[in-house]
Amino acid sequence: MSVPFHEFSANLSYSDLPADLLAVLRRSFTDTLGVAAVASTTDMAKFAVRGARATFGQGNAGGARVLMDGTLLSPAGAAMAGGFTVDAVDAHDTTSPCKGHVGSAAFPALLAMAEVMAKPLTGQDFAVFLAVCYEISCRAGLAQHATCPDYHTSGSWTAVGVAVAAARMLGGDAETLRQAAGIAEYHGPRSQMMRCIDYPTMVRDGVGWGAPSGVVAAYLAREGFTGAPALTCEQAPEFWEDLGRAWRTVEDTSYKAYPCCRWAHPSIDAVAHLMAEHGLTPQDIAGVDIATFHNATRLAGHNPATPDEFAYGIAFPVATMIVRGQIGVPELAGTTLQDPEIKRISNLVTLIDDDHFTKISHGKRWAQVTIRTTDGRSLQDKPRTPKGDNDLPLSDAEISEKFHLFADPVIGSNRATELEQLSDNFDSLNASDFTRLLDLSLTAP
């Protein structure tokens, strides 16, 4: 018999957390901080901090610093600015079955809440709160996708996980956590993801509003405000039957190799393979045909004018890999959008809406690439799903390399190394060392 989500969340202890779950949480901590470091340099992050400073100043809950910025705001304000910051570079952890991202909301929100706790947290304390946030978010996301006709952003369902975890951090009992979930689900951003894919802007994946929605819901519930039931938690029982016995966080969390939409990744992997296998140069390319699932063809993005359009594109990121051989920090610079050779290759890319790939792209994202060369060859790669998915996981070394690729140029190698060491072992830290991890995470470069 399944345990109700709010009782599970209220009673969870560190000893209940299995080793494979803790491994995921540690990996996500490090990975998210690397993304946050490079994302803190973007216009999107700067605009978000300024907007949050204007509307979410410090109140009687106490001051919380914005992730990788240090600006002191209310917990909701820090969650908002931090959520938009992480979301500014589309490279954070992901869950393919939910078609979204937990860490981009969880870390900005819960690190902000950690700042205002009456008693300093240990790493074990934070691990419990993080586990609650991830697991409730994952299951609420699955339930929402199964019961709503529109494809909603991550912010809509991570708001629920953040609310439950934040209410637990505030000392709420099981019923308070239940009310917080209902408030967050009701008021959370039911933003439609395909709108941002069709018209890419800084609204991105909705976590910049989902994270503070969850924080505010927790404070409201603490004061006696009611909102239950959360329909995704209480009226979709098939997604909660094994709660406490199985962990969707472990089964579904994966990591990105490239800072752009996951739907582009199998095509990027494919062109990287074909270029290397056949010793091709950009001058050899006469055309690139990408057969993929329907929604991915809506990414397109042949001539992006902004980083948002780059993030939600396939053609231009694929061309970037062909020309540069990587999609790293230099490729995130605005000048990349004007690179004439990348633009030339991008306009040689054709996206093909493939019925078979559309049919099988449930929980997986399929694509097949064919490169046509100037000497008349047609080089076809095998059908692929993204590297970084659980069946093709990134190694610990690859996660570390990605972290330093993003973090070192922004915060320096010494700070990045200490941050990696502490985040990769965060649940073993005493209160003093966890406070050090907070300081490294929540101060400006």
CA distance 302 to 290: 13
Give the chain's radius of gyration (CA, Å).
Answer: 21
Instruction: Pick the closest to residue 321 from 363, 378, 381 (CA basis).
Output: 381
Task: Tell me the CATH number at 11.
Answer: 1.10.4100.10
Do 367 and 433 share a structural domain? no
Residue-level pLDDT at 184 = 98
What's the gap between Cα 220 and its chain centre?
26
Looking at 330, 346, 380, the residue that finishes a domain is 380
What's the gap between Cα 221 and its chain centre?
26
Strands (DSSP E) along 170-327, which ranges?
253-254, 285-292
DSSP 294-330: HHHHTT--SS-SSHHHHHT-SHHHHHHHHHHS--STG
Instruction: Pick the closest to residue 66 from 91, 39, 100 (CA basis).
Output: 39
Do 178 and 151 share a structural domain? yes
What's the gap between Cα 79 and its chain centre?
14
Cβ proximity of 93 and 256 under 8 Å: yes
Domains contained in the chain, number: 2
Encode pLDDT of 182-240 as tens digits. Answer: 999 999 999 998 898 889 999 999 999 999 999 999 999 999 999 999 999 999 999 99
Place of tokens 């079955």: 97
Do 329 and 225 share a structural domain? no
Do 364 and 269 share a structural domain? yes
CA distance 370 to 123: 48
| Residue 203 included in any domain | yes
| Residue 62 included in any domain | yes
Q: What is the mean pLDDT of each run of 10 residues along the chain (445 residues)?
A: 92 98 98 97 97 94 97 98 96 92 98 97 98 98 92 95 98 98 96 89 95 98 98 97 96 94 94 97 97 90 92 95 91 92 97 95 90 97 92 94 94 98 98 98 96
| Residue 90 included in any domain | yes
85 by DSSP, 3-state: which? helix
Give strand pairing partners of 369: 290
Dihedral of CA atoms 123, 129, 130, 135 in degrees, nearest 10, equals 150
Full domain range(s) for residue 203: 5-256+396-442
Residue-level pLDDT at 1 = 56
List Cβ neighbours of 39 (8 Å cut-off, separation of 6 or more): 45, 68, 85, 86, 87, 88, 89
Residue-level pLDDT at 363 = 76
Do 136 and 45 share a structural domain? yes
pTM: 0.93
Task: Tell me the CATH number at 347.
Answer: 3.30.1330.120
| Residue 230 included in any domain | yes
Burial classification of residue 149, based on how many CB atoms lie within 10 Å of its CB (0-12 exposed, 13-18 middle, 19 or more buried): exposed
Residue-level pLDDT at 309 = 92
Do 359 and 326 share a structural domain? yes
The amino acid at 5: F
Looking at 380, 414, 430, the residue that finishes a domain is 380
Do 376 and 354 share a structural domain? yes
Instruction: Pick the closest to residue 99 from 277, 362, 410, 307 (CA basis).
Output: 362
Residue-level pLDDT at 329 = 79
| Residue 314 included in any domain | yes
CA distance 92 to 81: 16
| Residue 9 included in any domain | yes
| Residue 385 included in any domain | no
Distance set, CA 107 to CA 61, 87, 289, 355 (Å): 19, 12, 38, 37
| Residue 387 included in any domain | no
Residue-level pLDDT at 362 = 82
The amino acid at 313: G
- Dihedral pair phi/psi, residue 320, rounded to 5°: -60, -45
Cβ proximity of 119 and 144 under 8 Å: no
